Amino acid sequence: MSAAPRPSEAALIARFFAPLAGPGTEGLRDDAASLAPTPGHDLVLTADAIVSGIHYFPDDPPASIARKALGVNLSDIAAKGAAPRGFLLTLALPGDWTEAWLAGFAEGLGQASRDFACPLLGGDTVGSGGPALIGVTAIGEVPAGAIVRRTSARIGDRICVSGTIGDAALGLRMRLSPEAAWVPRLDADARGHLADRYRHPRPRLALAPALLRFATAAMDVSDGLAGDLAKMLAGAGRGAVVDVAAVPLSPAADCAIRMEPDLIEAALTGGDDYEILCTVAPGDLDGLRAAAATAGIALAVIGTVVSGGGPPVFRTEAGPARVFTTGAFSHF
Amino acid sequence: MSAAPRPSEAALIARFFAPLAGPGTEGLRDDAASLAPTPGHDLVLTADAIVSGIHYFPDDPPASIARKALGVNLSDIAAKGAAPRGFLLTLALPGDWTEAWLAGFAEGLGQASRDFACPLLGGDTVGSGGPALIGVTAIGEVPAGAIVRRTSARIGDRICVSGTIGDAALGLRMRLSPEAAWVPRLDADARGHLADRYRHPRPRLALAPALLRFATAAMDVSDGLAGDLAKMLAGAGRGAVVDVAAVPLSPAADCAIRMEPDLIEAALTGGDDYEILCTVAPGDLDGLRAAAATAGIALAVIGTVVSGGGPPVFRTEAGPARVFTTGAFSHF
């Protein structure tokens, strides 16, 4: 019903996306790709979309947006214990897209694709009629039957989280309220760290083998630790007790929270961490920690799975235990 | 950055989409699905999105929109000789979505999913910040190595097309220009047929086994016969000669074109046919036709693959041969 005086979709694909194409795609000159898992493996499939003005800022660099779109999907792949095999891209562009933007996007997507060893397998480019939307379907693989599920935690399991929590939520706050008192009091490195963590998810793909071997359940933290932990354990009919002091914070987040203690709530409930939340039987905890260390990924023990299905209880040394009943940050 | 006072995404999934979920999805209570092809098979992956106001009318029934979103993807799966295994859905909703719309959408999607034996494997629901977008990644499977490619036609192959061509393009014209002289002169059944063909693609899944066995190349006709044939043969470095009189028309389209001969151009270049365009060695033509007949799908021989890479030449009995240099209808 509408046609813009623009390069054809075929020309865009050939110029920007064919260089990213993996095997089985005929260089994106066909309408579908073929893919077989490594013998003895299952494929693992997930889809997440990010929308301009909702999941990222319209003026974010296009290379960052591309990395985020792929990264948030590969975070799910990692949490299932899987290794990436490829992805499909649905790119819905606003009416005012430019070739410079698209070139930057494709450049960033190509770099992320190489960094994560995850080639492009196909996709579609359409006009959005509104803001940009970048939809990705990511495909990984695990040994047959070995996918690490979300709702399989058991009572007594220890709860672990990778990396650090809250950086992205604070990076987003900083961006939305640069006039907040705590922001200028952080040094430039700390501000840069928080901003980068919001913009550039780091899917914990290196942790996948450790999860496969030791975790009883896992998911990625995308909508806030408190809400995602609640989802994980509600699905298992379990609860959790979390020691807030054990939740791993970066020096930047720690510094911000010392200046403004209420920010701990943003850190625990804000989204976009893209860390791994997992549970492990107490007897496998040392094994999981050693495997994570070998993978070069920090892993903190933050609590324990308990019976009963209420929301996770967050305990602090000083002050009452907290329950975050409002749930997770919602992207929707 | 934004949060609407709406049911949570988890609540929407549980209510509307979990009933559509296939095996390996944990009822959509995990972030990813597991899937393995039947032993000895490859998976076939494709992604296509439809956008409100571009690929369908905002006031189309939501069940029709859902069927179209899945149908256009399964048309690609069929063209590759594959059988459906499942799909992932990216649903980007405008700010003013209603539960009634979503209920209708889910109902239509469920019906289409059952009709095509293609369960839901996962997805994402986001706000679009603009019109609705429905993105589907469809997954099929073929015997290992057997995917039917687009660009593998050989000189001398016969060119075939399934069903009838141009109905959807005329249905769209009728909808856009109901005051056109030819529209009221069609009877209600004919108008209903054309409108239905625009709204409800019929992926030719039953033809897949015949394509696997006999076709040298195949693709679906989604952007217009002339343009898609040009794409198919340009990729092979070949040309085509097509006999316009042999292009299969429905009684409704035939009637409209008799009244308004220029409509033949809309029929040959308009989009949304979702028929199969394929090539076959002359010695396999009878086998292909017999297999198509067994599958209950009409198959017409419309031309021949020739040497040289120019655009397809459309020959008519009266008047000069035509070349459609403006290319296919573009959805972009």
Instruction: Look at A31 and B150 and tell me if their CB atoms are within 8 Å.
Output: yes
Do residue A128 and residue A70 come from a single domain? yes
Check whether residue A219 and residue A178 sit in a common domain. yes
CA A236 to chain centre: 22
Cβ-based contacts of A81 with chain B (< 8 Å): none
Q: Pick from A143, A167, A185: which residue ends a domain?
A: A143
Taking an 8 Å cut-off on Cβ atoms, the answer to whether A92 and B133 are in contact is: yes
Residues B139, B195, single domain; the answer is no
Give pLDDT, residue A73: 98
Residue B1 counted as domain residue: no
Three-class secondary structure of residue A173 per DSSP? helix
Q: Which residues contact A283 (CB under 8 A, 6 or more apart)?
A: none
Domain for residue B207, yes or no? Answer: yes
Q: Is A276 within a domain?
A: yes
Q: Which residue of B has its CA nearest to A221?
A: B31
With contacts defined as CB-CB under 8 Å, which chain B residues touch A122? 45-47
A139 has a chain B CB within 8 A of its CB? yes
Residues 6 or more apart from A108 whose CB is under 8 A from it?
A61, A62, A63, A64, A65, A66, A67
This model of the complex carries an ipTM of 0.94
Taking a C-beta distance cutoff of 8 angstroms, is the pair A305, A232 a contact? Answer: no
Instruction: Tell me, yes or no, whether A35 lies in a domain.
Output: yes
B222 shares a domain with B163: yes
Q: Do the chains contact at B130 and A135, CB–CB below 8 Å? A: no
Of A49, A53, A124, which has the smallest distance from its Cβ to B124's Cβ? Answer: A49
Contact of A327 with chain B, judged by CB distance below 8 Å, is answered with yes
Question: Contacts of residue A139 in chain B, CB cutoff 8 Å?
Answer: 45
A-chain residues near B144 (CB < 8 A) = 36
Candidates A30, A121, A127; nearest CB to B150: A30
For residue A115, the enclosing domain spans 9-143
Ramachandran angles phi, psi of B84, nearest 5°: -65, 145
Q: Which residues of B touch A121 (CB under 8 A)?
A: 45
Residue A151: CA count within 13 A, CB half-sphere: 14
Residues A113 and A183 reside in one and the same domain: no
A52 neighbourhood in chain B, CB within 8 Å: 129
User: Cα–Cα distance between B173 and B43 in angstroms, integer?
Assistant: 37
Taking CA atoms, what residue in B is nearest to A75? B31
What residues in chain B have per-residue pLDDT under 70? 1-6, 325-332
User: Which band of pLDDT confidence, cut at 50, 70 and 90, is reported for residue A326?
Assistant: low
CB within 8 A of B303, min separation 6: which ones? B158, B159, B240, B241, B242, B243, B246, B312
The answer to whether residues A173 and A260 belong to one domain is yes
If asked whether residues B39 and B93 sit together in one domain, one would say: yes
Q: Estimate the crossing angle of helix B251-259 against helix B167-176, to 10 degrees.
A: 60
Query: A165 and A285: one domain?
Result: yes
| pLDDT, tens digit, 9 for 90 and up, residues A51-61 | 999 999 999 99
Cβ of B135 within 8 Å of Cβ of A90? The answer is: yes
Confirm or reject contact between A11 and chain B (CB < 8 A). Answer: no
Give the residue from B45, B75, B147 with the most A CB atoms within 10 Å of its CB, the best one to mutate.
B45
| pLDDT tens, position by position, B132-156 | 999 999 999 999 999 999 999 999 9
Where residue A64 sits, what CATH number does that domain have? Answer: 3.30.1330.10
- Shared domain check, A168 and A137: no
Does one domain contain both A223 and A307? yes
> Average pLDDT, stretch A57-67?
97
Residue B326, domain member (yes or no): no
Together in a domain, B163 and B83:
no
Determine whether the interchain pair A332/B131 forms a contact, defined as Cβ–Cβ distance below 8 Å: no
Average pLDDT over residues A183-194: 97
In a domain, A308, yes or no: yes
Number of domains in chain A: 2
Residue pLDDT, tens place only, B33-60? 999 999 999 999 999 999 999 999 999 9
Co-location of B126 and B39 in the same domain? yes
Q: Cβ of B142 under 8 Å from any chain A Cβ?
A: yes
* CATH number of B203's domain: 3.90.650.10
The model's pTM: 0.94
Whether residue A85 lies inside any domain: the answer is yes
**What is the C-alpha separation between B208 and A80, in angstroms, rounded?**
33
Q: Is the residue at B325 inside a domain?
A: no
Residues in chain B closer than 8 A to A42 (CB atoms): 24, 34-36
Answer for the pair A130, A33: CB distance below 8 angstroms, yes or no: no
- Which pLDDT score, from 0 to 100, does residue A5 have? 54
